[in-house]
Structure 1
């Protein structure tokens, strides 16, 4: 993919980026990009859009002529270096970089993790690969692939832009401390780290089907208390509440008709967070919620996605859990019991934090920040009801804030 570099246009807002990426105009531009690749008259549609506050909008696009399908990545983020093989476009408002998947400019290991022959070579151990599929992909950030081999064994391949060695060390530290983190299948290769599958099922599944509380709050608190002290030595990452302004901006960008209401929520939340004591600095998971916890018969059997693990606060991990729990009933009607589960977990977390000198208002304010961070993600042009989903999440954030005031 080669094209002349066009000078950057004037800076554009992230709201303008979001609208442009979802527009027929941009779809037509991408159709012209793939035309020389043999896809004449291709139909281009948005597969995913991702808005990173303060950085810009990126997306994945499908281009097909009915018989051949290609995927393109695009970003409005400003990259320090524009790699060869990318197309640099001018939208008239700002610049966009486009690449042919999987040649992500900041994920050099993505071609390795998406090529079956290479996955077999590096992780197959003589086994043939039967399935290789993408579970998650955030352009310029990370990707997760599932590789299934002929003997039924599965590996998860996590593609990182940086810190793959550090993540490998974190896994080894958690395993040494008795935490059931996924077991690495060796050191990272070109920024790709492979893991064996955790035992059990995601807590999200048990929350959907269990007739009673599927995991005791004491098990959750005990797991977090058992995180190794060595995590205090790694670089800290900000909690959701520390990035309140970023996520508020993303929500206002995604749902502009609610910008005033969101601004009011931000002001009220910031006022509480200024004085809400967080407790002692402790080892923290950093992204602790039901999808990252595997369970079996009421016992925790897996703790996933420890990329953000490091110095933090118990109240932030518990707030992350509650915030994600609160949105589940709106995702699927089968989460009907979760409202009751939420109250049980909230009461237990309140009591535990009170014993540690941390008041409940900080817990609920931080849970509200987590829900607010999920508002922008509700925007999905393929879902005609996305606006209602976003409004529901804003209402939940308001309800949690009301508990804190």
Structure 2
């Protein structure tokens, strides 16, 4: 269970009220709560907080584990079961019946997936499903394997799906190796063809950088079609440092003052770049979004966040993720350390070295919320370590700004 928090919404969905919240959903359906644990927490101070749970439920016919989720906000949700204390509204649901992802249920049962495949003119024989990822209220990915093919169903909010399909088609036409869209539906489903290759994060577990030429990373981004720069501008991860400092402070109050001070430094330095940059950018460019094969990049995933920005946004995002892998005791730590050492001089030649490190600092602060969100064992220490990482990135940015970019990027030990 998480430690104590002063944030009332976070405390509501992670503390002693949870059995009552889950019971309010289970009892009318004929289920009895036998136990629960936190699976995931998405906290947005002053807006909405969402938590998901692994729940042990006794039904009339059997006892089993299921995934439930709940959201608390000051605005009444439009659909689904809602509980209120007069000031806050709590919405509860059972996976896969997410009220903001209406296509999710259809993607989680073989019979309805077979109907989706038939509608696309694809053979539906022998459908087998595996849930790859689920972020409550946001998105999910389900792998579909039939007797003749392997596909992925991505489930989004219905308002997003047409735009995401269009992006896939624009990139495919431009020759960028992204999953080819096979079709979409109004309820938020998009069906994607698979790509060749191994996720870069997995390849880094070999202890090597997994790429023969890191300049391929820059070339891939520079090949993004110019139409992407005409899309609506999204603020990059690094520009949300103050928000993520608030999330860290809510989960780990002892880190609040330090996290907010670091966020203030990042925001002050980034102010000179605010709203500038018209290069096509990926928006969430890091190891999990890249596929590699035979030492070369073979694919790019999750293009939902693409739009105009600065190349340093993408490259700083990549470096921040690599630095977390290198310092966090992950299987890919040695490979990520090698990649940081080998790739940084190449990336420095494409963008300003000081800005690159500053962007990495901002993204690292966003990643400091990850251990608590995922409820990792020992998340308190992991959060502290990532805040330390933010500070070291800022120090590296200051050194680069003083003309010492050739110095080691960061103390990784």
Structure 2: gaps spanning 5 or more residues: 399-413
Aligned mate of 2:72, from 72, 76, 79: 76
CA drift of 1:70 comes to 3.9
So what's the TM-score if we normalise by structure 2?
0.86
Aligned to 1:387: 380
Q: CA deviation at 1:79?
A: 4.7
RMSD between aligned residues: 2.3
Q: Distance in 1 between matches of 2:374 and 2:155?
A: 27
Once residues 22 and 381 of structure 1 are traced to their aligned partners in structure 2, the CA distance between those partners, rounded to angstroms, is 13
Output one character per residue of 1:263-283: Cα deviation in whole Å (capped at 9) or x when no partner.
Answer: 211122122212359974111
Quick check: 1:214 aligned with 2:221? no
Residue 84 of structure 2 corresponds to which residue in structure 1?
89
- Kept in 2, the 8 Å contact 1:14–1:56? The answer is no
Alignment of 1:369-380 (within 5 A): 369-379=362-372
1:117 aligns with 2:115: no
2:175 & 2:198 partners in 1: Cα distance? 19
How far residue 212 of structure 1 moved from its aligned partner, in angstroms, is 4.8
Asked whether 1:347 is paired with 2:356, we answer: no
- Alpha-carbon distance in structure 2 between the residues aligned to 1:302 and 1:201: 9
Q: Alpha-carbon deviations, 1:239-298, whole Å to 9, x = none? A: 012222212211222221111111211122122212359974111110100100111112
> Residue in 2 aligned with 1:159?
155
Is the Cα contact below 8 Å between 1:164 and 1:192 reproduced in 2? Answer: yes
Matches within 5 A, 1:2-401: 15-63=7-55, 64-65=57-58, 67-79=63-75, 81-83=77-79, 85-90=80-85, 94-123=88-117, 125-151=122-148, 153-161=149-157, 162-212=159-209, 214-275=211-272, 280-329=277-326, 330-353=328-351, 359-379=352-372, 383-401=376-394
CA shift digits 1:309-358 (9 cap, x unpaired): 111110100001101111012141442232232122222111222xxxxx
Question: Does the Cα contact within 8 Å between 1:86 and 1:100 map onto a contact in 2?
Answer: no
Higher mean alpha-carbon deviation, 363-372 vs 44-53, is at 44-53
Deviates more, 1:37-46 or 1:199-208: 37-46
Q: Give, in angstroms, the shift of residue 363 of structure 1.
A: 0.9
Structure 1 residues 238 and 336, CA, compared in 2 at 3 Å: closer, same or farther?
same
Q: How many Å separate the matches in 1 of 2:24 and 2:167?
A: 45
Q: TM-score, normalised by structure 1?
A: 0.88
Structure 2: distance between partners of 1:383 and 1:374: 13
SS in 1 for 2:176: coil
* Aligned-partner SS, 1:147: strand
SS in 1 for 2:182: coil
Q: Which residue of 2 aligns with 1:356?
A: none
- How many pairs align? 385
Q: Give deviations 1:40-64, integer Å, cap 9, x for gaps.
A: 3532332222223552210222332
Shift of 1:380: 5.5
Q: What is the DSSP-based 3-state SS (H/G/I as helix, E as strand, rest coil) of the residue aligned with 2:113? A: helix
3-state DSSP of counterpart to 1:274:
helix
Native 8 Å contact 2:152 2:191 kept in 1: yes
Looking at structure 1, the residues matched to 6 and 310 of structure 2 have their Cα atoms a distance apart, in angstroms, of 31
Q: 1:182 to 1:344 in 2, by over 3 A?
A: same
Q: 1:188 to 1:228 in 2, by over 3 A?
A: farther
Which blocks of at least 5 consecutive residues in structure 1 are unaligned? Answer: 1-12, 354-358
Structure 1 CA distance, aligned partners of 2:199 and 2:35? 37
